[in-house]
Structure 1
C-alpha cells in the first residue's frame, strides 16, 4: 500500500512516486488534480519545533509581507500550503511534512541551465541572455525576501528552478530563517561551495544572515554567467592539493580576484567575457574586504546589462551572445580551446538566425 498523508482537518492525499530527496527530507508526487507535491521530513532534530515552523509558515502565507512574494504567475515560491502527517501508525511512527506547489509544472531544475549537455537537451533556446535574465530574476527574488525579513541560509542550485525565459523559482522554504512575532526560527542548513567564508568551520547551528545569502547569490550569478563554472574552482597554483570549493573559499583562491591563485583547464570560459561592472561586483563579493554587494545592487547591475544595445550576437554563431564591451566573441575563443558552452547552428551546421536583443 502506498503512503498517504493527512492534514489537521482530516483531508487525505495519496502520495505517488518519490521525485526528490535532500539532506533532511523526501518529496513525493500527490494524487491530485492540482499541481501539488508533498515534502516529508522523517527525522528533524526537534520534531515539535519543526511542526511549529511549518505551521507558522503556513500562517504567514496570508500575511501582507508574504502575499506579495506569492503573487504573479507562475508562482515563484513553493510555499508550504498545509501541514500534513503520514497516515497510519501512532506517535513517533508518523512523519511530518507539508503540501506545496509542484514547481515542475512551470519550471525545470536550475542545474539544467549550468551545463552544456543539459542546456542543449532541456533548454535548447538558452543563450547568455537567458543566463543574464535568470541571474536578474534570482537577485530580485532574493532582494524581496530580504526586504520582508526572510533569510534563505542555504541558497544553492538544488533548491532553485528556472524556465526557458530565465524566470526563477525557489523551494525548501521550510529551511529558511525567519521571525514570527517574537519567536526566531533559525536557519538550519549549509551546503559546501555555497557557504560564506565566515560560516565555514563555524559551529553547527550558527545562524545565517543576509550577508551569507549575498555570498551564495554571487556564486550562483557567476555560475550562470560563466556557463556553470564555480568561482572557486581550480587547482591551487601554489602546488598544494585541491581539497574542495570550501578550502579554496577559505584561502581566497578565486580566478576573478587573483588570476595567479588557481590553475584551470584552458577550455573554461574566458574570465574577460564579463562586463566591467559585473566583474567589479564579483571582485567585491569574493575579495578580502567582505563588503558584499546586496541583492538589490546585483539586480541593478544585471538589469543594466540587459538594456537595449548592451548585447550583440557573434557573426559566426548567432547563439553566441556577449557584451558589447568585448570586441570579439568569448564563446568562439572558448570553442577554439576545446569546448563550446553555447553550440548552435541549424541541422546542416550553419549559424542560425541572429536573435533579437532582449
Structure 2
C-alpha cells in the first residue's frame, strides 16, 4: 500500500512549527530536492518544500538535527544593513494534517550577491562590476574559512564545496551560504551524509577509493584549499599545468589522484606550472600552507579552516600593511615586498598574443602558391604471410608436447582418486586459508592527541551552555580539560619578572585610538612567530572590540584562552565581547568562569620572595589585573554599557563563588555517551555469512577522544576496517578518578551474524566507587 503524498502548491497554507499558519507566495526556484517559495506573511523568510516522492521521515530528522545544532554564524550588521551569512533552517513546516513537508529559512538578498567564481579572473570580475584587487579575494578567502570553521564546530560539513556553490555580498564581501540541507549534517546520534560531490574538488584519497563516511572534514579541508588557491591565483586550479610526459593524466581528477601539484616550493617533476600563475609571488607562509594542503605525504595534516582564517586575516586587513597598491595599475594589489602578479600575468598574456599573431603571419607567408595540390598517397602496407597449416614440429615443439601429456595424466589420476579424500583436503585447505587471513584488531592513533584552538572554542561554548542548563558534570569536566591543556611554564624569578613587566605594557591603555594600529601590527607579528602568545592575542581582542568588531575580538580572546586557559584576563575579554554582542547572560557566564579560573590559579602571578619581603601568593596581584582589565575593556564598549558592564562583573564574581563551591566529580569509568550503541551493518559482499563474537578494549584520552582499539580475537580484516570507522563516530566520556579526569578505557562486547554486528557495555559504576 502506498503512502498518501501531500502536494503543496502556491497559495496553499503551511504551518510553522505546528503553531502558526502561513500562505505560500511566489515560486522562486525548484531543484532536485524541493521548491522554494516566498512567504508574504513572513517577508524575511522563505519556505523550502521537499518533493513528495522523497524520504520525508529522513528529511524531517535531518532538519531537526540542523535546528538543534545550529552553527554560530550570526547575521552581520553594518551601516544599518543586515547580512545573512548562511540560509540555515529556522523552523519546520507542516501541512494541514501536521505532516512534515519542509522548513523555513532566511531570505538572502540574491540581487546583491554574486557567485564566487565571478571574482576569480580579472576580466570576468570587471564585467560583473566586482572588485578586481587581491585584497578583496583575500577577504573572501578569510571569510569563507570563518564560515566553514563555524560549521565544523558543530561537525557539519559542506562536502560539495566549490566556487559555483558559493555566493558573497558585493559590497561587504561576506559569504552567503545556500542549500545547507544538502550538507553532511551531524545529529545527536545520527549522521546525515551529503548526497553530492564534484570530482575536480575531491581529495586524492577519495579519488582512489571513493568518498567514505567519517571523512567529510578531510574533504572540506582539501576543497577549501583548492578554492582559496583559485581565489589568490586568477582562478587557476592547483592541479592544472603542463604535463612533462604522456603518463600524466589529462583530466583534473586523475591529476589529483596522482598528486600532480605543480605549484609547490619544490618543483614537481611530472608537471610544470601554468605560465600565467602568480604562485611564485606569494609570501612563504602562504605557499607553505598550500604545500601542506596538497602534500602527497600520508603523514601530512591539511590546514583547518581556522588555520586559513588566522593566516589570511592579517593580509586582508588594510591596517596590516601586508598588501600594496600597484604603481603601474592602481586596480592591482600585490603582497608587500613582492612584484605585482597581476601585471606579470598581463605581460605574459600580451607576449603570447603577439607571438601568436607573428606566427600566423609567417604561416600565411609560407603557404604554397598553387592551392589544391594533393599529396601523394602513402604506400600500402606490406602484409606478412600467415604460417602454413601442417608445418612440421621442431625438436623443442616435441618437448612441449610431451610435457603437456604428462600434466594431463597427473590431472586425470587426481580426478579419479577417492572423492572423500579430495573433499577432506579441500576443506582443510579452505579452513587453513581462512584462519591465516584473519587479523587481530590493533588500531592506534598515529598522531598524538593535541589540544587545538578548535577544541578550546568548542569547550568554551559547552561551558557557557552547561552553566545555562545547570549541568555540573559538563561544566567541571570542561574546565578540567581546559586547565590540563595549559602549556608548561618556565621557572625562575628573572623570567617571571620580565613576563609581568610585559603584561603591564600590553594590558595598559596603549591600544586605544591613536596608537592601536601600530600596536596591532606588533601583536600580529608576535602571533605569527608564536601562536601561543596569550598576551598578544588578548591585546588584539581588545583592539577589535574597540573597533566594533565583536566576531574578530571573540576569536582572539578564544585564542588567548587556548594558549593559556588558566589566565583569567582573556575570559573577562570574552565576557565583554558577549555583552557587546547583546548576550548579557553569556557575558555573566564567561565573567564567572574567568574569576573562578583566576582565583584557582592565582599562584601563577606570584613572585619569588626576597629576604625580608612578605610572602606573595599571587592573589592580590591577580585581583589588580582583573580590576584593570575590567576598566580598560569598558573603554572599548559604547558609553551606555557602563552600568550593564558593572552588573556583569558583579554577577560574575557571585557566579565564580558558586562554581568554586561545587563538589568534586564522582568517580566513573570512561563511557560511551550514547543511550544505546548503534549496530554495525556489514553490507559488503561475502560478509553477511560471517559470524562470531569478540571483546574490544577502547582507549579514551582525558579529552574524550578514542586513541586505540584492541580486540581479543582475530577477525576478518574487512570487519576490522569497518569497525574502526564505526567506533570513531561514537562520542566518548573520559574517566573520573579522585575528582579528576583521567585517560582510561571502555570494554565492549560484540557479536555478529546475519550481516549485523551488535554491541553491549558493562554496567556503569555507581556512587563513589572508584575505577580499578
Please give the range of the TM-score, normalised by the shorter of the 2 chains: 0.7 to 0.9
- Compare 49-58 and 128-137 and name the one that shifted more: 49-58
Match of 2:313 in 1: 303
Equivalent position SS for 1:231: coil
Cα deviations across residues 145-198 of structure 1 (Å, max 9, x unaligned)?
A: 222332222222233211234321212221223333223323333222221122
Cα deviations across residues 186-216 of structure 1 (Å, max 9, x unaligned)?
A: 3333222221122224456634332221111
Asked whether 1:13 is paired with 2:21, we answer no
Match of 2:87 in 1: 78
The higher radius of gyration belongs to: 2
Match of 1:320 among 317, 327, 332: 332
How far apart in 2 are the matches of 1:44 and 1:313?
55
1:188-267 paired onto structure 2 within 5 Å: 188-203=195-210, 206-240=213-247, 242-257=249-264, 258-263=267-272, 266=275
Cα deviations across residues 9-53 of structure 1 (Å, max 9, x unaligned)?
A: 3423123342x74xx435545253624444455388744212221
Match of 1:345 in 2: none
Equivalent position SS for 1:193: helix
Match of 1:143 in 2: 149
Residues 95 and 239 of structure 1: CA distance in aligned 2, closer, same or farther (over 3 Å)? farther
Match of 2:283 among 275, 279, 286: 275
Match of 1:355 in 2: none
Match of 2:527 in 1: none
- Check conservation: 2:94, 2:101, Cα contact below 8 A: yes
Unaligned 5+ residue runs, structure 2?
1-7, 78-82, 352-772
- Check conservation: 2:238, 2:262, Cα contact below 8 A: yes
1:246 CA displacement: 1.4
Equivalent position SS for 1:112: helix
How far apart in 1 are the matches of 2:260 and 2:47?
40
How far apart in 1 are the matches of 2:152 and 2:204?
20
Match of 1:53 in 2: 62
Match of 2:303 in 1: 293
1:295 CA displacement: 1.3
Cα deviations across residues 300-320 of structure 1 (Å, max 9, x unaligned)?
A: 111232352211111110111
Cα deviations across residues 51-86 of structure 1 (Å, max 9, x unaligned)?
A: 22123323445xxxx4x3234331211112334479
More helix by share: 2
- Compare 179-188 and 330-339 and name the one that shifted more: 179-188
- Check conservation: 2:62, 2:185, Cα contact below 8 A: no
Match of 1:330 in 2: 341
Match of 1:100 among 94, 98, 105: 105
1:294 CA displacement: 1.4
- Check conservation: 2:65, 2:186, Cα contact below 8 A: no
Equivalent position SS for 1:100: strand
Equivalent position SS for 2:76: coil
TM-score when scaled to structure 2? 0.39
> How many equivalent pairs are there?
325
How far apart in 2 are the matches of 1:49 and 1:95?
10
Residues 283 and 60 of structure 1: CA distance in aligned 2, closer, same or farther (over 3 Å)? closer
Residues 16 and 131 of structure 1: CA distance in aligned 2, closer, same or farther (over 3 Å)? same
1:242 CA displacement: 4.7
- Check conservation: 1:269, 1:331, Cα contact below 8 A: no
Asked whether 1:167 is paired with 2:178, we answer no
- Compare 183-192 and 307-316 and name the one that shifted more: 183-192
Residues 226 and 35 of structure 1: CA distance in aligned 2, closer, same or farther (over 3 Å)? farther
- Check conservation: 2:65, 2:188, Cα contact below 8 A: no
1:252 CA displacement: 0.7
How far apart in 2 are the matches of 1:55 and 1:324?
48
Residues 294 and 150 of structure 1: CA distance in aligned 2, closer, same or farther (over 3 Å)? same
Cα deviations across residues 258-284 of structure 1 (Å, max 9, x unaligned)?
A: 454335653x33321211111110011
Q: Which has the higher contact order (CA 8 A, sep 6+)?
A: 1
TM-score when scaled to structure 1? 0.79
1:236 CA displacement: 3.1
RMSD: 3.1
Residues 292 and 204 of structure 1: CA distance in aligned 2, closer, same or farther (over 3 Å)? closer
Unaligned 5+ residue runs, structure 1?
341-358
- Check conservation: 2:132, 2:332, Cα contact below 8 A: no
- Check conservation: 1:29, 1:36, Cα contact below 8 A: no
